Every structure is written in structure tokens, then in C-alpha cells.
Amino acid sequence: MLRNAANDYLALRRAAGFKCVDIAELLASFIRFADGRQERHVRAATAVAWARLGTSVYRRRRRLRTIGIFVEHLRAEDGLHEVIPSDVFPGASPRRRPPRIFSREEIRRVLSLADTLGPPGSMRALTYRTLIGLLFATGIRIGEAVRLTFDDVQPDGLVIRRAKFGKSRQLTLHPSTHAALEYYLQVRRRVASGSDRVFVSIRSSPLERRWVLLTFQALCAKAGIDGAGGGHKPRLHDLRHSFAVHALVRCGAERDAVDRHMLALSTYLGHGCPSATYWYLEQTPELLRDIAAACERLPSGVTR
């Protein structure tokens, strides 16, 4: 009963554009736990006992919250499922890890080091230089980049297919970015491969994001570039954050300009809603200082 209900719930969430990878794993784990107790409905005590198996306070809260939302869905048709308490695991909510914003000079250093990648005679150096440069210049997700095919590179830009929430979008490219990508494709098309992916490994198979991450972090280490916060390494997603922050800095501090630019940036990045893009304001000290200065210049009592 619970298994069928979970499958229906996940199908509904996925139809709305959510991937539900972690949620599916958590629900499957909870259902196995409940099956061991021969329970056909969700019991609050069982949910709490299962959640306590989490390895940290955050994971325990995450596990219990996942079941709580699932129960809210189930109770619309069956009130025998018990409401899950929300105050079992008190503590501060985890803070979103701040991104590492790369400067243009830092990216130049990383790209220069990418040119030294071996083995000699392979196109690995050019592949990583182009891929890392593309991530920084466009802000596309690494998953979107490694899924690019030849047909996705068009004269007027890139087509991003099967993006987050199942959406597709068209991206214009700066002429220098387009030229670099076209040069790479001239070399790439001479490489025999059974794949039409733009970025491939030295074995001519589609490039895997985990190898891209390891290579990127190794290049950053050689360049003396750390991640945000103590002990953290840079992430590929930091390149997306960097693109967004640099784009916001260029738009100026006027509120109308920020609003117009934010909507365009949200569309370009493929965010589900502009509010997800406004978070980047918190990570843009230059823009925040400019906005604060602009606010101070407003007459007292004036709002916009």
C-alpha cells in the first residue's frame, strides 16, 4: 500500500518537473523500515524512529521532513496516516554554502594550466579549456554542458535541452565564446567517436562530470585557488555563480536596471522563478554597496 502510494506521489512530482532522486531513495528506505513493522499506514513514531537513523541533525531533519510532506499528500485521501511532528530535531537550519566567485584573472590562470594537460597528442587540454571557459562565460550547469550535442551548437547560440525542471532554452553567445567553441568543434569532429556529444574523453566516450570536477579542482589547486570557506575545494557550480555575479555587477545599481536584468538573467540561467536568481544579490558585495549608497541618496521617506 505505502509502496504504491509512494510511486504515485513520485510520478506526480516528476510530472511537475522535479527529479526526486534523493526523495525517492529516502521514501524507499522508509517504506522498507515500515514494512519491517508490518505497517500499512504512516505512523509518526515509526517516522521519527527511522529519521533518527540519519547521520547528522541535518539528515535527520531532512528525513523527517520528507516523510512529513509525503504524509500531507496522503492525508488528502486517507486520514489514517498520522501527521508528522516538525519539532523533533531542533537546531539551526543548515546555511547554504557560499559560492567561490572566480575573477577573470583567476579563470585565465586556470585556462592556462588546462593547456598543459596531457597526454601529449590528445585533445584533452583543448577539451577542458573549452569546457571550463564555456561554463564561466555562459553560466550553464555542468550537466547541461556535458549533454551538449553537435546539433545543440547553432549559428545563433546554444540550445539547452532537458534542463532542470524539464525545460529547454536558447542561449546567445558572446562572439569570442562562439569562436572558441567553433574552433574546438573543428578539432572535435576529426575525432572518431560513436557519440555526437560535444565534449568527450580521451577514450572518445561522453565526458563524465565527476572527472571534470576532479580535473577542475586539480587545476585550481595548481593555480593556488581555494574554495569558499575553510577546507572546501572549488566546485564546478561556482563557475555558474561567478557568471551570475559578474552579470549583476555590470548591470549597475539602479533598482529598475537590476529588476530588468534579473528577469533576463533568470531566463538565461534557466531558473524556475526570478526569486532563485535574486539570491545572487547576497553574494555580490560590490552591487550591495552600490545599492546601499543609492538608498542613502534617496530623500527621507521615499520608497520605490
Residues labelled catalytic = 141, 164, 237, 240, 271, 280
Choose among 152, 118, 121: nearest CA to 134: 152
Amino acid identity, residue 96? R
CA-wise closest residue to 180 among 210, 219, 212, 138? 138
Instruction: Evaluate whether 261 touches 251 at the Cβ level (below 8 Å).
Output: yes
267-302 in b/e form (b: 16+ CB < 10 A) is: ebbbbeeeeebbebeebbeebeebbeeeeeeeeeee
User: What is the chain's length?
Assistant: 304
Residue 287: alpha-carbon gap to chain centroid: 23
Task: Write the CA distances from 160 to 16, 57, 144, 147, 197, integer angstroms.
Answer: 19, 37, 7, 9, 13
What are the φ/ψ torsions at residue 95 (nearest 5 degrees)?
A: -85, 145
Helix, strand, or coil here: 297? helix
SS3 80: coil
